[in-house]
Each structure stands twice: as C-alpha cells, then as structure tokens.
Amino acid sequence: MSETRPMQIRVENADDPAVAEFRDIRERDLVGRTGRFIAEGTVVLNMLAAAHGQENGFRAEKILVLENRLAGIADTLNRFPEDVPVYTASAAVIDAIAGFHLHRGVLALGRKPEPRPLDEALTRLPERALVTVLSGISNHDNAGAIFRNSAAFGASLIILDETSCDPLYRKAIRVSVGSVLTVPFHRGGSIDEILMKLDRAGFAVWGLSPAGQHPLRDLPASNRTALLLGTEGQGLPSDLMARINTARIAQMPGLDSLNVATAAALSLHEMAHRMGLLSE
C-alpha cells in the first residue's frame, strides 16, 4: 500500500484541521457554499475515481478511511491519482470526526467541475436522447432516487431548475448509488428558460402530473424526449401545465399521487422502451 499511496497520513485527533471538511457531515450542506461534496462507500468512490479521467469532471480532494478497512479497499484507493491524500484514523476518531457511526468506513471530499452553460450540455447530446427535467424538487431522497432511475433507463442528461436542490448533497449522492457522479446534469435557470432551450434543441417536452391530459401509454415515440417532473406536494404549477403537453400515469382513484421518483421511473421506463434505448 505505502508504495502506491505515498500520501497516506494518520489522523490522531478529530480536531485535526486537515480533515475539517469531514466534520459533522450528517446534515451539513457543504456543496452550496464551497462547491465541495462528500462521497461515501466504495461504490460511489469508484465512480468518483473514474471521473478523474474526464476533462472538467468531478475531482477528489482528499479521502478519509477507517484504518482497519484500508486493506479491503486498496483497489478503490489505487484508482485515484497519487496526489490525492488518504487520511487514516481509528474507529473512535473517525466517528468523532463524522459525528455518527461511519460503518462504511470510507469518505471522500469531492469538488464540482466548473459549471457550463445549458446550451453547451444540450449541444453535446446524441441525436436520440432522453432528458429528465426537475422543477422544485427539494427533497434530497427524491432527487437521488430520480438520478438512480434516470441512469437505469438511459437518460443522457438531467436538468434541475433553480428551485430544485443540489444533487451533490451527501444524502442525494448516497440514494442515487453514485449516479449523480455519472449522469451529466445541469442545475440553474428558470423552468421557462429551460423549456425554451429544450424546444430549440428539438425536444418534445412532456410534463408528468396526475392531472395530465394524455395517458403515459399513449405518448408518441420521439427521438428527443424530455420528461418534466414537479415537486411532490404541489406538482407542476397549472399555468405551466397549460402551456405544455402533459401526461398522467393511470392509478386507482382516490389515492395520493405516486412518489415523484416512482413516477419518474415509470415514465422513463416507458419512454426508454419507445425510443429503443433498452435492449429488450
């Protein structure tokens, strides 16, 4: 280990400023102020390591590992560039740093790439593309689950408007099983601006809502489809609904609407089939 990872440093004290970014991470939102985020567990860390191969991709700044997990995750650690420092600590010290029992035993501090304009992201899309658009999604679990489902059904891009949460929040990354680090996304701008740009790029936009006009199963196949999901409580605002095509998912009457990430899964699955993105 010590040959491939010369930057291995033992932390004796939870107050060590070298690991300050890992302190009390449970509910802390690092990403909003600093552009940094916390990645947990080997699955997500492998995805973060892979991002180093991309131009202007995510980068790891430092890693914190439970000392008795070091040997077990050597393969993961070796995927990172050698200049990324790996801090090691005992279970007691690491739990004192994180503020809870860290049974996964490994954390990384990541850095977001420089944001690029939405137009650029749209230009890079393939001719046949499925895009997920989120407006007012503020729950991190839902955001993470939507990323996971978008990855599963082949979405090429996820666009979050300015009223949606940052998917690089720790819990969203965890729930996404790391797909926040693999599916390209753009966050920012008003929903009107986003829809205008999608239209200009040749996308058919469908808003999902229990009050949608067309049954999901009747949606026309299209080479470029964008599925728009609104916040679970309020759904898409009615003035927006009036201006776009809308679809509904059939369900039994008299019940609450589906969870927004579940609705995303159903509609992405349906469209991915129509568009031939899935192999069967």
Binding site for a second copy (CB under 8 A): 43, 145, 148-149, 151-154, 177, 179, 215, 217, 249-253, 255-256, 258-259, 261-262, 265-266, 269, 272-273, 277-280
Q: How far is the CB of 57 from a second copy (least distance, A)?
A: 18
Least distance CB 224 / a second copy (angstroms): 18
**Alpha carbon distance 156, 264 (integer Å):** 14
| 45 vs 265 by CB, closer to a second copy | 265
CB of 45 to a second copy, least distance (A): 14
- In the complex with a second copy, which residue's Cβ is closer, 126 or 253? 253
Q: For a second copy, which is the closer residue by CB, 85 or 167?
A: 167
3-state secondary structure of 248: strand
Spatial distance between the Cα atoms of 190 and 195, rounded to a whole number of angstroms: 9
Backbone torsions φ then ψ of 134, nearest 5 degrees:
-115, 130
Nearer to a second copy, 8 or 223 (CB): 223
- Nearest distance, CB of residue 83 and a second copy, angstroms: 28
Which residue, 149 or 231, has its beta carbon nearer to a second copy? 149
Helix axes 260-274, 140-152, angle to 10 degrees: 20
**Long-range own/partner contacts, residues 221-225 (CB < 8 A, 24 or more apart):** 221/271, 221/274, 221/275, 222/274, 222/275, 223/127, 223/128, 223/129, 223/275, 224/125, 224/127, 224/128, 224/129, 224/131, 225/129, 225/130, 225/131, 225/271, 225/275
Nearest-angstrom CA–CA distance, 43 and 151: 15
Q: How far is the CB of 194 from a second copy (least distance, A)?
A: 24
Nearer to a second copy, 9 or 152 (CB): 152
Query: Minimum distance between the CB of residue 64 and a second copy, rounded to whole angstroms?
Result: 24
Is 207 in contact with 230 (CB distance < 8 Å)?
Answer: yes
